[in-house]
Amino acid sequence: MQAVLALEDGRVFRGRGYGAPGEHAGEVVFNTSLSGYQEILTDPSYAGQLVCLTYPHIGNYGTNPLDSESAHPFAEGLIVRELAQLSSNWRSVETTSEFLADFGLPVISDIDTRALVRHLRTHGSMRAVLSTQDFDEQSLIAKAKASPSMVGLDLASRVTTSAAYEWTEPSSNIYLPEEVPAEAETRYHVVAHDYGIKHNILRRLVDVGCKVTVVPAHTAAADVLAMKPDGVFLSNGPGDPEPVEYAARSIREMLGRVPIFGICLGHQIIGLALGGKTYKLKFGHHGGNHPVLNLETQKVEITAQNHGFAVDPDSLNSNEVALTHRNLNDDTLEGLRHRSLPLFSVQYHPEASPGPHDSAYLFERFVQMMEEFKK
């Protein structure tokens, strides 16, 4: 197949099409991870986005059911330099192209991804259309301009679960035997708000001794507190945090009544609940190699990240909120905690998948906070 990627500012890339034929619009972002393409594509935080992977050779180890971070891919499409047509891995069930075709996802390959990334770094993330059907450049550019902007878009409502459910699977179901974490006694009940939650987050919570109840994004504070949880977790998710006001309102009602831990979109919602503001980054943070300084320990953590918005640290009340983590690439806020209430959050992904495990200690910290609150 032929494939065309047309950006809203008129830049056009032509290449080969794989996966499913079709036409998808979305915001183009780039991810610098060297592996983990299946986890990236099935991360609900990528809803509404076309993902360009900067590593040039993608797909050589195929795909398998255990590596998916949700039931299906949420990205609108995949952009790569070269897509492997063969899989060489004992865990592989399908090639990457077959996997994406199963879910109706298009791929454009054989384009200069370095040129695309440089363009996005210079001009910022922008809307685009990836098509294997329409090859008229002006038509595609017009469609890109007409597609929804990420600013003001509540995507958490689109990707959240429709009903509450229990999660009990630990990490031992996916790791090799020598990598299996020690099983912890189940001692805490955690209610996890699903704004686009990843499976590995739920596994990590089970690993540290949590019984997890996942609830839809719109679940009211009263309904959560009625479950008598030991803690509340706020998940990652896609889109602009400001339209997710219903979540910020719910968090405000729970402040001080139950320990709260948030990541990614959950972190941004906490910032809004504490009276802060958020803003859109030029091209976001997407990848598994972002250095973050823990301001309380002065240790640097290499982190996995996926977000296009950030909390403005100057908008937070410093008498109530302590800033705990800072991005060493651009000085953006990466973590905070309340000075007197049981609440903390980070902008990055401590569960990784894909990415480093430097920040996995944060799940233990959540457990410690729940234990101290019970005393």
The residues pairing with 216 across neighbouring beta strands, listed in sequence order, are: 194
pLDDT value at 177 more than 80:
no
The answer to whether the beta carbons of residues 338 and 267 sit under 8 Å apart is: no
* CATH class in words for 2-146: alpha beta
pLDDT value at 175 more than 70:
no
The average pLDDT across 348-362 equals 94
pLDDT value at 251 more than 70:
yes
pLDDT value at 183 more than 70:
no
* Residues catalogued as catalytic: 264, 349, 351
pLDDT value at 142 more than 90:
yes
Instruction: State how far the Cα of 255 lies from the Cα of 168, in Å rounded to an integer.
Output: 27
pLDDT value at 146 more than 60:
yes
Joined together, the tokens standing for residue 122 give: 């210079």
Percent of the chain with pLDDT over 90: 95
Residue 163 has what pLDDT? 98
The answer to whether the beta carbons of residues 324 and 335 sit under 8 Å apart is: yes
Residue 176 has what pLDDT? 53
As a whole number, the mean pLDDT across the chain is 96
Q: Given pLDDT bands bounded at 50, 70 and 90, which one contains residue 180?
A: low
Of the listed ranges 135-144, 167-176, 310-319, the least confidently predicted one is 167-176
Residue 171 has what pLDDT? 84
Residue 17 has what pLDDT? 98
| DSSP run (H or E) holding 57 | strand 57-58
Residue 323 has what pLDDT? 98
Q: State residue 336 phi and psi, 5-degree precision.
A: -150, 165
- Residue type at 145 in one-letter notation: K
Q: Radius of gyration over alpha carbons of the chain, in Å?
A: 20
Residue 375 has what pLDDT? 80
The answer to whether the beta carbons of residues 249 and 217 sit under 8 Å apart is: no
pTM of this prediction?
Answer: 0.95
List all residues 6 or more positions away from 314 whose beta carbon is below 8 Å from its beta carbon.
Answer: none
Architecture of the structural domain at 156-374? 3-Layer(aba) Sandwich (3.40)
pLDDT value at 116 more than 80:
yes
Q: Where are the domains of the chain?
A: 2-146, 156-374
Q: Which residue has the higher pLDDT, 146 or 178?
A: 146
Instruction: State how far the Cα of 58 lies from the Cα of 51, in Å rounded to an integer.
Output: 12
Instruction: State how far the Cα of 210 lies from the Cα of 230, in Å rounded to an integer.
Output: 9
Percent of the chain with pLDDT over 70: 97
pLDDT value at 25 more than 60:
yes
Number of residues that make up the chain: 375
Residue 185 has what pLDDT? 82
Residue among 137, 105, 102 nearest 17 (CA):
105
| pLDDT tens-digit map of 275-292 | 999 999 999 999 999 999
